[in-house]
A and B are shown apart, each in its own frame.
Chain A
């Protein structure tokens, strides 16, 4: 031991001194929490959005789905199937890009549901639920950040597509409108996953179920091929598949051939999904055991 006797003597005194100061700081801090005015739902939604952005900052890997995957899929499908399905990769790209864009964004809608499920398993869910706030903002905030993800993925895919030879006749306006419409649909679809996120026991089971739903829905659609070559019973399904409705509208907007009815169908689907699953999610949220 190299501690000198003076030092040893000093130590307990210092300790009590800081302990006393700590105690005083504690007392002040505890009584210092004045109650501010209750914030509105928009403010708390933005706060939850800030939380979701921080999560991206700390776990940047979660952006792989929104960046690397779209590039991979677009390249793979264009060059694997283009020649066989449309005669040339260039022609196929005109058809494929809007479809695969929808498929990619639709797969990203699972995020908020999965995060919600994580919050429940970890316990912070209880903290949020015991706060005097507008409770849907927990999810609305996260969904707003999902919008950032969608925009990022869309931009990457469209830019890569343009480099590869995608020539949309709807121009920039058409592409922006297509991405916006897709975002509206994605927002409404997210509520299915938040509902399941409230019910499923774990992130894994939630992912399993959502893959089971999304895989057939995106493939048995008009994302990759024109349904005309399919047997008629399958065509029937493809036509009512909401994913096909979205793909038709997005394709139409990008190529400048969209009809009012095509856009309306997507909006109707979005309203129905939100009207059913958003209240259902919040009902489960309030009554979670």
Chain B
């Protein structure tokens, strides 16, 4: 057995495949995740993000390919992998009938702490996560943000070398989301490697050192957020017109000036386009003004996940049926 795991890579995977019946939920995923970094899986529901994470966390056995996690072979050293990784699933990964403190004591005891150590560790974590007031409340009475934090706290009772976070902020309000982000940043600053999945480009952009865009079980793009954005253009130009009847005219004009395809939004007065730099945006605005087309809203934003998908796959990111 290899007790001297290689230092630099936290995860190395080659050609991972998982089939559910006929469907290839994960269809040949290669990965190289550096230690001490945040790696983001970006993709819509059913893209294969969760399935990949579950394989890497030893919860599913791959139907093809191989992987080492922290230097341990996924297939033959699953127990070693389990000792060093931690998983925060998409759904409640704590016992909702128990209190926050009891949940942390439960995990602490299972990891090998004495009763007192487990209680002290639980109290410390609840304090650090701003949950001390809810320590003696059943988790089922927690708000969404609190629940997410207790989930993560349960995952780091023993500091893992690698933490999997499956959609850590889906459904959270902005304040709770920021709290989770700050927890992730602190984790990484203390040396833990984090692999997270998200449906939001902004989240991947904020947290991840590298991002893999996943669609239909395959990685269709990979790189730093800067590299991905450069390949996608600076962002998305959003225009809303005062009079919807001006839209065909605006579309024609923008297509000419920007030399790119114009997307007609479902809002009859809105349109958008991919642009590569800010000068294009000002060109567009002055052209519209000159043509006497009244604009109520004009913004240059980061591409949304939909736009990234459109760009990468030539089709919108449809929500496929979620795979178990």
B156 CB → nearest A CB, Å = 6
Task: List B contacts of A51 (CB < 8 A).
Answer: 95, 98, 106
CB-contacts of A32-51 with B (<8 A): 32-39, 43-44, 47, 50-51
Contacts A25-B127, A30-B186, A132-B83: A36 and B61 contacting too (C-beta < 8 A)? no
Instruction: Check: A226 CB closer than 8 A to any chain B CB.
Output: no
CA distance A27 to B191 in the complex (A): 11
CB-contacts of B86-123 with A (<8 A): 86-87, 89-98, 102, 106-107, 109-113, 117, 121
A131 pairs with B110, CB closer than 8 A: yes
B59 pairs with A130, CB closer than 8 A: yes
B130 pairs with A32, CB closer than 8 A: no
Task: List B contacts of A28 (CB < 8 A).
Answer: 124, 128
CA distance A52 to B113 in the complex (A): 19
CA distance A47 to B113 in the complex (A): 11
Task: List A contacts of B54 (CB < 8 A).
Answer: 126
Find B92's partner among A30, A34, A39, A122 (CB 8 Å cutoff): A122
Find B125's partner among A29, A35, A47, A288 (CB 8 Å cutoff): A29
Instruction: Check: A8 CB closer than 8 A to any chain B CB.
Output: no
Task: List A contacts of B183 (CB < 8 A).
Answer: 26
Find A58's partner among B87, B130, B138 (CB 8 Å cutoff): B138
Instruction: Check: B182 CB closer than 8 A to any chain A CB.
Output: yes
Contact with A along B176-190 (1 / 0, CB 8 A): 000000110011011
Interface size class of A (residues with CB under 8 A): 35 or more
Instruction: Check: A127 CB closer than 8 A to any chain B CB.
Output: yes
Contact with B along A52-73 (1 / 0, CB 8 A): 0011001100000000000000
A224 CB → nearest B CB, Å = 37
Contacts A23-B186, A122-B96: A133 and B60 contacting too (C-beta < 8 A)? no
Find B182's partner among A23, A32, A35, A289 (CB 8 Å cutoff): A23
CA distance A47 to B118 in the complex (A): 12
A37 pairs with B59, CB closer than 8 A: no
A30 pairs with B159, CB closer than 8 A: yes
Contacts A27-B189, A33-B156, A36-B117: A127 and B87 contacting too (C-beta < 8 A)? yes
A31 pairs with B190, CB closer than 8 A: yes
B94 pairs with A124, CB closer than 8 A: yes
Task: List A contacts of B191 (CB < 8 A).
Answer: 31
A36 pairs with B158, CB closer than 8 A: yes
B92 pairs with A123, CB closer than 8 A: yes
Find B112's partner among A22, A37, A59, A289 (CB 8 Å cutoff): A37
Task: List A contacts of B298 (CB < 8 A).
Answer: none
B89 pairs with A123, CB closer than 8 A: yes
- Among B93, B191, B324, which residue has the most Cβ atoms of chain A within 10 A? B93
CA distance A54 to B95 in the complex (A): 11
B110 pairs with A47, CB closer than 8 A: yes
Instruction: Check: B29 CB closer than 8 A to any chain A CB.
Output: no
CA distance A189 to B128 in the complex (A): 45
Task: List A contacts of B111 (CB < 8 A).
Answer: 35-36, 39, 131
Find B82's partner among A32, A55, A132 (CB 8 Å cutoff): A132
12 new A-B pairs (CB below 8 Å) besides A127-B107, A129-B58? A23-B186, A26-B182, A27-B190, A30-B128, A32-B121, A35-B159, A36-B112, A51-B95, A58-B97, A123-B91, A131-B107, A289-B324
Closest 3 CB pairs of A and B: A29-B128, A123-B91, A33-B159
- 24 A-B pairs in the complex with CB atoms less than 8 angstroms apart: A22-B130, A23-B186, A27-B190, A30-B128, A30-B159, A31-B190, A33-B156, A35-B83, A35-B159, A43-B109, A43-B112, A50-B106, A51-B98, A54-B102, A55-B97, A55-B98, A58-B97, A123-B92, A127-B89, A131-B82, A131-B110, A131-B111, A132-B79, A289-B60
